[in-house]
Structures are given as structure tokens and as C-alpha cells.
Amino acid sequence: MTSRKQTPSDFLKQIVGRPVVVKLNSGVDYRGVLACLDGYMNIALEQTEEYNGGQLKNKYGDAFIRGNNVLYISTQRKK
């Protein structure tokens, strides 16, 4: 039995519309619902919260994050 490996592109397509954490090169985290992203990793988030050092710093409705600032994106753990 063979299992198909999931590519990063497959993963990103699956998480659109789900809560995510986007970590920037600067160390700042943005948490929100992934609205869309493109091939350059430019990311649009909805219901966005900004965290620095684990502390909530600000809340935004919609946010756009330029891809070259992104260290990683992951699904948000359920609390």
C-alpha cells in the first residue's frame, strides 16, 4: 500500500478558511483566519490578532502580510 505525500502547496490549499499562526522574521506572531495567499507567500488574514513575546498587542479586522517577512505559517492549535 502506498500513501501519497502531501506537498507544502497541498497543505496551504487545505488550510484556507481555517485559523492559522503566521510567524514573522521579526518574531511577531499574527493569528487569524487565512483568507488567501499567493505564490509569493503574501497572506491575507481575517480576525487578526498581533502577538509579541506571547502578549496580545493589537487586534485588526483584516491584515495583509508581505511574503518576504514570513518565517512560517501553521495551523492554530485549539485552545
Write out pLDDT tens, residues 11-66: 888 899 999 999 999 999 999 999 999 988 899 999 999 999 999 999 999 999 99
What's the CATH number of domain 8-75, 3.40.50.2300, 1.10.3720.10, 2.30.30.100, 2.40.160.10?
A: 2.30.30.100
| C-alpha separations of 37 from 8, 32, 63 in Å | 13, 13, 12
Q: Are strands 43-52 and 29-37 parallel, antiparallel or unpaired?
A: antiparallel
Q: Per-residue confidence at 78, pLDDT binned at 50, 70, 90?
A: low
What is the value of pTM for the model shown? 0.84
- Structure confidence at residue 74 as a pLDDT band (50, 70, 90): very high
User: What are the residues facing 20 on neighbouring strands?
Assistant: 32, 75
